[in-house]
A = this chain, B = another copy of it.
Amino acid sequence: MFRIGEFAQIAQVSTRQLRFYDQIGLLRPCHTDPQTGYRYYAIRQLPRLNAILALKDLGLMLDQIGPLLDDAISSEELRGMLLLKRADAEHAIRTGEQRLRHIESRIAQIDRQGAISGYDVVTKSLPPQPILATRHTVADLEEAGTLVAAAAAAGWVALRPAHRGNLIVVARNDPDSDRLDLTIGYTLTRSTGRTLTTQGLTFSPENLPAIDIAATIVRQGTNPESHVAFGAIGTWIEANGYAVAGPSREIFLEPVLELPGFDKALVEIQFPVSPA
């Protein structure tokens, strides 16, 4: 018979741990002195403790281990539990690798810039989004700016405030030319099936698909600032082992009160991505 300290030393666990296992009934000492409360363990209890430690190491929780050791669980059930645990473990590894890439890209960023970037990329999942929008191709960013301003203004007056959400711009690359393919419109708080023509622009309803993983960034301010933010998100996507998986979206979060003054607007850039 060993006192708790000796037994703990043999098994390489803390005395607190043994007292805890006693308390929850997982490993009762062979004998407890009713006078002093001293716990006495037999060396024959070591296999049970080892079984507990081995199962704990597989990721099982203590309240699952008890029934398992007392044979209240078939090997078929144990197999099922282990398959779940395997999935958990695989997921944990993938999450850990992801986190490691995030950390390393941050370190590299500090080493490059000597400072902390003002931008923080966050991944989210996005639901399907109904919009009412007009689609055009433009030659360059200047033309794009003019078009966005015009479409934003036209939509702003033509759409009822109760239906109108945020200004949104979807940018597709046109593979056949070097022109930009832009879809400009407003998110809808209530779906509409109606096409609308105003100030020479035709707004059609469209349902943007859900995005499983979107890398997003919030930028604020002027257009020259914009491509810095795009650069930051692009670098992030590459450094973190993702690939772009669809057209990017820009959501103008703050209602733009003085059109076309986008200078103070807060814009969320969303890139659908998938693990490369």
Footprint of B on A, CB under 8 Å?
Answer: 10, 12, 43-44, 46-47, 50-51, 53-55, 57-59, 75, 78-79, 82-83, 85-86, 89-90, 92-93, 96-97, 99-100, 102-104, 106-107, 110-111, 114-116, 118, 120-122, 124-125, 216-218, 220, 253-254, 266, 268
CB distance from A240 to the nearest CB of B (A): 10
Query: Roughly how many angstroms separate A89 CA and B47 CA in the complex, as a whole number?
Result: 33
Q: Could you list 25 examples of A-B contacts with CB < 8 Å?
A: A12-B124, A43-B254, A43-B266, A44-B254, A44-B266, A46-B253, A46-B268, A47-B266, A50-B122, A50-B217, A53-B122, A54-B121, A54-B122, A57-B122, A58-B102, A58-B103, A58-B106, A59-B103, A75-B110, A75-B115, A78-B110, A86-B107, A93-B93, A93-B97, A93-B100
Describe A's contact surface by its main secondary structure. helix
Instruction: Select A78's contact among B102, B116, B122, B216, beta carbons within 8 Å.
Output: B116
Question: Who on chain B is nearest to A47 by CB?
Answer: B218
B218, A46: Cβ atoms closer than 8 Å:
yes
Question: Which residues of B are found within 8 Å of A104, using beta-carbon distances?
Answer: 86
Question: Which residues of B are found within 8 Å of A217, using beta-carbon distances?
Answer: 50
Query: Roughly how many angstroms separate A75 CA and B116 CA in the complex, as a whole number?
Result: 7
Question: Who on chain B is nearest to A12 by CB?
Answer: B124
Question: Who on chain B is nearest to A107 by CB?
Answer: B82
Question: Which residues of B are found within 8 Å of A220, using beta-carbon distances?
Answer: 44, 47
B100, A86: Cβ atoms closer than 8 Å:
yes
Question: Which residues of B are found within 8 Å of A115, using beta-carbon distances?
Answer: 75
Query: Roughly how many angstroms separate A217 CA and B253 CA in the complex, as a whole number?
Result: 62
Query: Roughly how many angstroms separate A195 CA and B121 CA in the complex, as a whole number?
Result: 70
Instruction: Select A75's contact among B47, B89, B90, B114, beta carbons within 8 Å.
Output: B114
Query: Roughly how many angstroms separate A78 CA and B114 CA in the complex, as a whole number?
Result: 11
Query: Roughly how many angstroms separate A216 CA and B54 CA in the complex, as a whole number?
Result: 11
